[in-house]
Amino acid sequence: MYYILSQIAGFIAFILSLIAYHRKKKEKIFQTMVLTNALEIIHYLLLGAFSGCITKIIALIRNIVIVVKDKHKAFNNVLIFIIFLLIYIISGILTYENIYSILPILAATIYLFFVWNGNELKVKKVAFYCYFLWLIYNICVCSIAGIISNIVSLISTFIAVHNSKSKTIPNQNL
């Protein structure tokens, strides 16, 4: 029963994540993503996938801080970044079960480096590779919703990176 409920929460989170980026206002996108993260936390908790769960909890807080740091200088400093980095490392140690259990923490840590101050193209590129780590993790924890979500995200991010490159790098064959 927990497995079925976890997949339902995961699929609803996936659908909401698709809807989020079609919202017109930044606040609405953010509100939808908060709900998405909450459902993903439930999804991984019901699966007993604790490193995925804790990673999503930290990501929820991280995303709030990233939105706030642009408006409030107190949050836009290296100390906050280092605190998140330490939290990820400690979480990885506390939730370690086997090699695949570190994949979400590894993906989130790599992503943190680029999302903190990176430009849009760098964030898209690193997200593409982080989705691979999440895909492997989702396969290992039997998250059907996570697998489908990661495959769609990989395809979507690949297209976004390709479109960004084609706009910024002129075709040399012309």
Residues 6+ apart with CB under 8 A from 40: 9, 10, 13, 52, 56
Instruction: Residue 37: count other Cβ atoms within 10 Å of its Cβ.
Output: 21
Give the tokens for residue 143: 């998250």
Query: Whole-prediction pTM value?
Result: 0.85
Distance (Å, rounded) from C-alpha 145 to C-alpha 47? Answer: 11
| pLDDT at position 174 over 60 | no
Q: SS3 for 165?
A: helix
Q: What is the pLDDT of residue 165?
A: 64
Mind listing the pLDDT tens digit for each residue in 110-161?
988 888 776 777 887 888 899 999 999 999 999 999 999 999 989 988 888 7
Q: Where are the domains of the chain?
A: 2-168
What average pLDDT does the segment 31-45 reach?
91
